[in-house]
Structure 1
C-alpha cells in the first residue's frame, strides 16, 4: 500500500546540498515527491511509496550522514495522493 510522508527537517539543512542528497536517497528507494526549502530554515520533504521505503528515508534523514546538520525530523504519514511522477528539488 502506497503512503505519503510529510517530514519537516530542522537544523542547518539549507545551502549545504541537503535537498540534492535527499533526492538521491529517495530515488534510490524508488520514491516520488519533493524536498523544498522554507524561509524559516527548515526543509520540507514530501515522499510517496511503500511504508517500508518511507521509513528507510526517515532513517536516512536521521542517520547523521546527511549534508549539514539535522537536529530534528518531524514526520507524518497519510494516504498517497498520486500527484508526483518523480522526486524533485524545489
Structure 2
C-alpha cells in the first residue's frame, strides 16, 4: 500500500549536496515526490511509496550524504505528489 509523508530535515543539510543526494536516492528506489531547501536552513521533502520503500528512504535520509549531519527529522502525512521526483526551488 502506498503512503505519502512530508519530512522536515534539520541539521547541516544545506550546502552539502543533500537535495541532489535525496533526488538520486529517491529515483533509485522509484519513489515519487520532491525535495527543496527552506529559508530557515532545513530541507523539506515529500516521499510517496509503499511502506517498505518509504521506511528505507527515511532511514537513508537520517544518514544523508557523508558531509551532512542530520539532527532531527519531523514527519507528517500529506497528499500524494505528481509522479517522478524533482528538486523544487527554495521557499
Please say whether Structure 1 and Structure 2 have the same fold, judged by a TM-score greater than 0.5: yes
Q: Is the 8 A contact 1:21 1:66 kept in 2?
A: no
Distance across 2 between alignment mates of 1:41 and 1:71 = 12
Runs of 4+ in structure 1 displaced over 2 angstroms?
63-67
Aligned partner of 2:83 in structure 1 is 85
**Secondary structure of residue in 1 paired with 2:73:** strand
> 1:66: Cα distance to partner?
4.4
Unmatched tracts of structure 2, length 5 or more: none
Q: 24-33 or 65-74, which moves further after superposition?
A: 65-74
Could you state the TM-score of these two structures normalised by the residue count of structure 1? 0.87
Q: 1:64 to 1:31 in 2, by over 3 A?
A: closer
Could you state the TM-score of these two structures normalised by the residue count of structure 2? 0.86
Number of residues paired by the alignment? 88
Aligned partner of 1:33 in structure 2 is 33
- Give CA deviations for 1:15-38 in whole Å, capped at 9, x if unaligned: 111000011111111101000111
Q: 1:67 to 1:27 in 2, by over 3 A?
A: farther
- Give CA deviations for 1:12-71 in whole Å, capped at 9, x if unaligned: 111111000011111111101000111000100101110111110110011264442111
